[in-house]
Structure 1
């Protein structure tokens, strides 16, 4: 009995440790190797990790020649983005993801509970940055393997305790969902409206168990922008129609609410800016409200990593941190040779360590400016 109590106490201690430490402690004995890989422990550890303040993971595509590009990721706490424009990130090592061919065509689809969902034109990969484990998702049928021609979304269904990827074609009326539990794809009823190429390549925003894409189509008699939704639990597509006058290029979350980013170019004043509008009551189209205007931010991806007043806006040409309370903007510049930047929120976890098909992936690098 005393040994059981001691082991249970040790488990509670292990639950509070970062993933890298737990990986090392698996070598203590066969008992601890099995216990720390048990579904019960992985579930409890994920719940504890979900309560930690999220961090920001930054993807840097570095290089000057087509066969010399490098795909490097760095992880940052919510209040510490120590960017050095000459030498990279001071004191923060990077992790290189081996996209050997054409990393510029790769994109971050989403981040959920420690898993990054990455894709290029022909494949999708789930990668746990914390424990350096990746799983290449099985391909769809040969006619549907070009993932540059589908809208993709990644999220977690708490009801089934499963991670899903949703693929919606904008060439044909077809849609599919991937289950990490079964490691397989299955067909699902598609949305009634065919997606448009110009919008559907944008990343889906995962919020309240629902994926959200910006798209366009007909509302009554006019062509307008709307938000296409997909509920991971019910497998049902839905729509949130937007006012016809809005030009929207992104859906995100701000202050715990669904939000849209509307870029505006004032030809008379020759100025560019973006409106941020939030849906104060989810699902109520009458509750949309203009939150603030980001001056000088146009055509950039915007998101709020933490509810502390800061907004991150980024593109290949540079990034900005805008504080909605102080109205202060700080500019973030990346090192020489950085030709693409992606950012996501990230919470460390042990996901994928128990997947037999997952393999070790990710080399630590300390300098990547050349």
Structure 2
């Protein structure tokens, strides 16, 4: 190859690299729905959108909101997305043919778990790719169903069905999308089952469950074993556990004071009080009781429910960053559950 040809190839490589850098900056500002569609434009676009570098630049893309309204028009629970402009947009789930015959029972990092009573069927739905899959029927009747999906590590997911409660444990069936099978297990909590609450959080193959009077039960799904972590204070019935910046956090709001602890050492149940601040300034009247909804996985942000709106609160600057109001059309809506999910190549690959 001549020197001139080598220089020409080098210059074209630089130009292509600069164009890709510019394209990445543009793509990083797009909503997840658009990114999913643009992967079909060309092989180079597919490669860029699937690249880990782009995934790291992307912010938290969306918040899935599952709520019920008292208005006459909307009697069934609804699933919607929060947009950056403070608008709550109803999600179009027409692509899933069993939407009206099934019920959303859980969600995790961009996936929804549906349950259909007759015939008994579980469905996992990816609202980003508009793909869905039906699961084989579990052997036993489920009493509680949990969806477990980590979009940072794998496109595979698990469905946990608690089929019977024991004095200090439970019978459990776990479906793996990797194997396509249900496996039966017995699990021991290490405490009375009556102490277990309904507040749960999944992260990195561990299901964290708040329990009375002052515990977190950490269920390791790989080992099918439990560890107990003591809370820094007696459990608040409106308390919430979640992960932010790689650490487990526990938070609640009592008398309009927000308290957040970060777990430093699970084996020693060592917590550090990270934030303690009043949230009265954006709540208003004392009759309104706010609740913690979720933690932002990467930023110093928490999501708080203040009827009839959802607020993202910046802990460092002690101010609200985003407010999503439920409009009059929905009446006095009350929140059932929300799910935060980041953009991830594994999310767009799951059920693809």
- The alpha-carbon deviation at position 53 of structure 1 amounts to 2.3
> Deviations for 1:167-225, whole angstroms, at most 9, x for unmatched residues?
3456343122210112221112312446646754323231x442211123xxxxxxx23
1:181 aligns with 2:181: no
- Contact 2:86–2:323, Cα closer than 8 Å, also in 1: no
Query: Radius of gyration: which is bigger?
Result: 2
Aligned equivalents of 1:317 and 1:196: distance in 2? Answer: 34
- The alpha-carbon deviation at position 69 of structure 1 amounts to 3.0
- Contact 1:154–1:204, Cα closer than 8 Å, also in 2: no
SS at match of 2:184: strand
Equivalent residue for 1:162?
156
What is the Cα-based RMSD across aligned positions, in Å?
A: 4.1
1:22 aligns with 2:22: no
For structure 1, the 5+ residue unaligned runs are: 1-8, 27-31, 84-88, 217-223, 265-270, 355-370
Aligned equivalents of 1:352 and 1:153: distance in 2? Answer: 14
> Deviations for 1:99-147, whole angstroms, at most 9, x for unmatched residues?
32585xx343321xxx413345855432222211112333322x423xx
Equivalent residue for 2:60?
54
The structure-2 alpha-carbon separation of the partners of 1:200 and 1:135, relative to structure 1 and needing over 3 Å to count, comes to: farther
Equivalent residue for 2:78?
71
- The alpha-carbon deviation at position 156 of structure 1 amounts to 3.5
Aligned equivalents of 2:274 and 2:79: distance in 1? Answer: 36
Equivalent residue for 1:100?
100
Aligned counterparts, 1:191-206, within 5 A? 191-193=188-190, 196=193, 199-206=196-203
TM-score (norm 1): 0.64
- Contact 1:167–1:177, Cα closer than 8 Å, also in 2: yes
- Contact 1:276–1:293, Cα closer than 8 Å, also in 2: no
Equivalent residue for 2:217?
228
The structure-2 alpha-carbon separation of the partners of 1:210 and 1:159, relative to structure 1 and needing over 3 Å to count, comes to: same
Aligned length: 299
- Contact 1:151–1:170, Cα closer than 8 Å, also in 2: no
For structure 2, the 5+ residue unaligned runs are: 1-15, 28-34, 284-288
- Contact 1:49–1:347, Cα closer than 8 Å, also in 2: no
Aligned counterparts, 1:186-265, within 5 A? 186-193=183-190, 196=193, 199-206=196-203, 208-216=204-212, 224-243=213-232, 245-247=234-236, 249-264=239-254
Aligned counterparts, 1:335-354, within 5 A? 335=327, 336-337=329-330, 339-341=333-335, 342-348=337-343, 349-354=347-352
Aligned counterparts, 1:84-163, within 5 A? 89=88, 94-96=91-93, 99-101=99-101, 106-111=104-109, 115-120=110-115, 122=117, 124-141=122-139, 143-145=140-142, 149-150=143-144, 152-156=146-150, 162-163=156-157
- The alpha-carbon deviation at position 259 of structure 1 amounts to 0.8
